[in-house]
Structure 1
Amino acid sequence: MAKVKVEHLTKVFGKRKQQALNLVSQGKSKTEILEETGATVGVYDANFEVEEGEIFVIMGLSGSGKSTMIRLLNRLIDPTSGEIYIDDENIAKMNKEELQEVRRHKLNMVFQSFALYPHRTILENTELGLELRGVSKEERQQRAEQALANSSLLSFKDQYPDQLSGGMQQRVGLARALANDPEILLMDEAFSALDPLIRREMQDELLDLQENVRKTIIFITHDLNEALRIGDRIALMKDGQIIQIGTGEEILTNPANQYVRDFVEDVDRSKVLTAKNIMEPAITMNIESDGPNVALNRMRKEGVSILLVVDKKRQLKGSLTALKALEARRDQLDVHDVIDKNVRKIKEDMLVTDIFNVIKDAEAPLAVVDKNDKLKGVVIRGSVIEALTESTEKECDTNE
């Protein structure tokens, strides 16, 4: 069951809502609809699901509807039509009291503005949500201190917001949200007011925190590079409609239409594409059933001089060269005794730019494995160089 599910969600601002919706169905643009009806289409017929523990990024340019979307998700504004489910409960139909309970215990929001009270210490700011919920002073202090510790801010707990940098203030905002221990964290352009270097540090911190807390995060941004960097999946919006949903790699490699193609055109793919995108099928032998003769025969047919060695579950065990296979056949040795167990391997999600530093001096292809060390494929030097070259050529074309 999805943690969050949105079905046919629509929000139109203005009086002539039905006329505006009719024009949307005719393919009219947001501007044309505004000129004809005076109504603004914020979100139109949005459908998506967010899995528990996922970072789901909603992105688009100004006016795309992304900020309206996140305000609909916590009912800061009411939908014109459609459903919003959290744990299979439809919050679009909840009354004020029911909605308040959801906001207190399941949802929390981090805004672009730091929204810290200047007269409160960092600890007092972090405690605020718990204080409003009526949590005892001792418990809220303990939980706030733990949240600050997770964000490496505990030593600043007695200082005031104006004594901290912008990046540190935003970390306090994030710690305050996490202190409430929400199941779902909504982040509306949370890092966009920060300098580029601090922004990147906050992205890293969010990813590090997510490794520990595993919250369901819905993150709003207009920055494609930010979306690609932190999102498990991305929903790209235009004029209130979701144009495409997918992983960053899926959107880059299979854009849904020309708009998406133009949107991602200037992205440095080498900083997004991973081993999974450029790997090739591995030529292998099964150490539990294949001997040196089978290995040599396979090498001859495939035109290679080395095989990767796996067991029947495709767990990587090592590699076998033609010379070692000949030695095993000649001396009647067990294959276990001649394989090289020190195979250079990488994870499926390693970026192409990082792979180059590993493979540039490697004498053999790199084995690509999943988190359980199961062999998924191989990466050869030529594929890495080709991906880097394509990115460089695209950058040169753009600069020209």
Structure 2
Amino acid sequence: MTEKNSTAPAIAVEDLWQVFGENAASVLRDARGTGDDHALAETLKGKNLIPAVRAANFEVKSGELFVIMGLSGSGKSTLIRCISRLIEPTAGSVHIDGEDILKASEKRLIDLRRNKLGMVFQHFGLFPHMTVADNVGFPLKMQGAGKAERRKRAFEVLDLVGLTGREDAYPRNLSGGQRQRVGIARSLAVNPDIWFLDEPFSALDPLIRRQLQDEFLNIQATLKKSIVFITHDIQEALKLADRIAIMRDGEVVQIGTPEDIVLRPVDDYVREFTRDVPKGRHACVESVMLDQVPEAMPDDPKLRVGMTLSTALEKCMDLYEPVPVWDAAGNMVGAVHPAELAAALHVDDGTGTDCE
């Protein structure tokens, strides 16, 4: 077994390709060097091959929540299946804690999936004849753990996902959100170092989805796993991610923090994703600070580094007095405090008041 290298990223993906079609590996190998990656992809398409992932390069830091997003068909789900080796990549390398898993034997892959890698998918895949606790403890059963040990660990992770008291229920007795919680708990039962999640909340109603996002962030704050999370929802990506990779036609077109994606999109494709995103909730005051500090600043709302623009605006508005509101006939009908105007524009999405 390869020793973990503390200086290595949790995941390192280098020049990864996934091409579907007959003789894809040999055609790709022969076509390499004939042009840039875009020209190469066009060459492959001309040979009736489908380049689902094109020359992907990125790293996931230890403890980082790395979100991959894109439209349907962009290659994001194929990419996570290549990284976890649920499908065999056509070319490239994937290192997990320094180990190239594309060279791992079938036995080693089984060991990794049982002990190191956790996976959650959109479809829950629960065993209908098993109780919630038995479903959660099933990966431990595959490791050879005894019934008492499995049940104890199941109770621990079910408490973590907010399902205490439902241990002996069956999946048919649970709501969709509760079943997804069971799926998350099952993936955590073996305490994996690395967690893959492929659109785990996309089939849920918006309210349940937001609740699970909040719970997921709480779990991550406690466990600090290295996570690759797939979504097509920009709001979900911005809420959850430490960094985001945007995909288009199998290619990673931009990687950056939520602030980078919102304020500094590399092209119109990324810009379109963030067009309706309230910039003030994801950008911080440093992004608009003056280069030179004026000598006279009588007002001090106590802004600080890391504060979002929305929160900073609310604090600035607190310094001012209420102002009148007039009707169409010129009559004063009321008053409003500027801070209330600012607060009305700030939607609380659970991401807090800081950019971090």
Q: Same fold (TM over 0.5)?
A: yes
How many positions carry a matched residue from both structures? 315
1:109-258 → structure 2 map (5 Å cutoff): 109-258=119-268
| Residue 360 (structure 1) aligned with residue 314 (structure 2) | no
Deviation string 1:344-395 (CA, Å, 9 cap, x unpaired) is 45561x44334444443147xxxxxxxxxxxxxxxxx99x96xx69xxxxxx
> Cα distance, 1:227 vs. partner?
0.6
Q: Is the Cα contact below 8 Å between 1:4 and 1:50 reproduced in 2? A: yes
Partner of 1:98: 108
Is there any run of 5+ residues in structure 2 with no aligned partner, and where?
1-7, 321-337, 347-356
SS of equivalent to 1:159: coil
| Residue 8 (structure 1) aligned with residue 15 (structure 2) | yes
Partner of 1:394: none
- Provide the rounded CA distance (Å) in 2 between the counterparts of 1:90 and 1:34: 26
| Residue 302 (structure 1) aligned with residue 272 (structure 2) | no
SS of equivalent to 1:67: helix
Moved more, 253-262 or 153-162: 253-262
- Provide the rounded CA distance (Å) in 1 between the counterparts of 2:100 and 2:267: 32
- Provide the rounded CA distance (Å) in 1 between the counterparts of 2:46 and 2:227: 37
Identity across matched positions, percent: 43
- Provide the rounded CA distance (Å) in 2 between the counterparts of 1:151 and 1:207: 11
Cα 1:242–1:26 shift into 2, 3 Å:
closer
Cα 1:261–1:123 shift into 2, 3 Å:
same
- Provide the rounded CA distance (Å) in 1 between the counterparts of 2:73 and 2:91: 20
> Cα distance, 1:262 vs. partner?
2.6
> Cα distance, 1:264 vs. partner?
2.2
RMSD: 2.7
Normalised TM-score (structure 2): 0.81
SS of equivalent to 1:302: coil
Instruction: For 1:65, give the aligned amino acid.
Output: G
Cα 1:144–1:279 shift into 2, 3 Å:
farther
Higher relative helix content: 1
Which one of the candidate residues 252, 256, 267 is aligned to 2:277?
A: 267
Deviation string 1:285-330 (CA, Å, 9 cap, x unpaired) is xxxxxxxxxxxxxxxx7133478xxxxxxxxxxxxxxxxxxxxxxx
Normalised TM-score (structure 1): 0.72
- Provide the rounded CA distance (Å) in 2 between the counterparts of 1:110 and 1:223: 17
Deviation string 1:174-201 (CA, Å, 9 cap, x unpaired) is 1111111000000001110011111111
> Cα distance, 1:36 vs. partner?
2.6
Partner of 2:93: 83
Q: Is the Cα contact below 8 Å between 2:37 and 2:55 reproduced in 1? A: no
Q: Is the Cα contact below 8 Å between 1:107 and 1:182 reproduced in 2? A: yes
Instruction: For 1:262, give the aligned amino acid.
Output: E
Cα 1:96–1:24 shift into 2, 3 Å:
farther
> Cα distance, 1:39 vs. partner?
1.1
Instruction: For 2:310, give the aligned amino acid.
Output: T
- Provide the rounded CA distance (Å) in 2 between the counterparts of 1:130 and 1:57: 28
> Cα distance, 1:29 vs. partner?
9.8
- Provide the rounded CA distance (Å) in 2 between the counterparts of 1:258 and 1:113: 32
Deviation string 1:31-69 (CA, Å, 9 cap, x unpaired) is x66763221111111110000110000111111110011
| Residue 37 (structure 1) aligned with residue 47 (structure 2) | yes
Q: Is the Cα contact below 8 Å between 1:16 and 1:38 reproduced in 2? A: no
Point out the structure with max Rg over C-alpha: 1
- Provide the rounded CA distance (Å) in 2 between the counterparts of 1:159 and 1:281: 60
Which one of the candidate residues 60, 65, 71 is aligned to 2:70?
A: 60
- Provide the rounded CA distance (Å) in 2 between the counterparts of 1:262 and 1:72: 27
Cα 1:355–1:305 shift into 2, 3 Å:
closer
> Higher relative contact order by CA 8 Å / sep ≥ 6: 1 or 2?
2
Which one of the candidate residues 35, 50, 56 is aligned to 1:46?
A: 56
- Provide the rounded CA distance (Å) in 2 between the counterparts of 1:83 and 1:185: 19
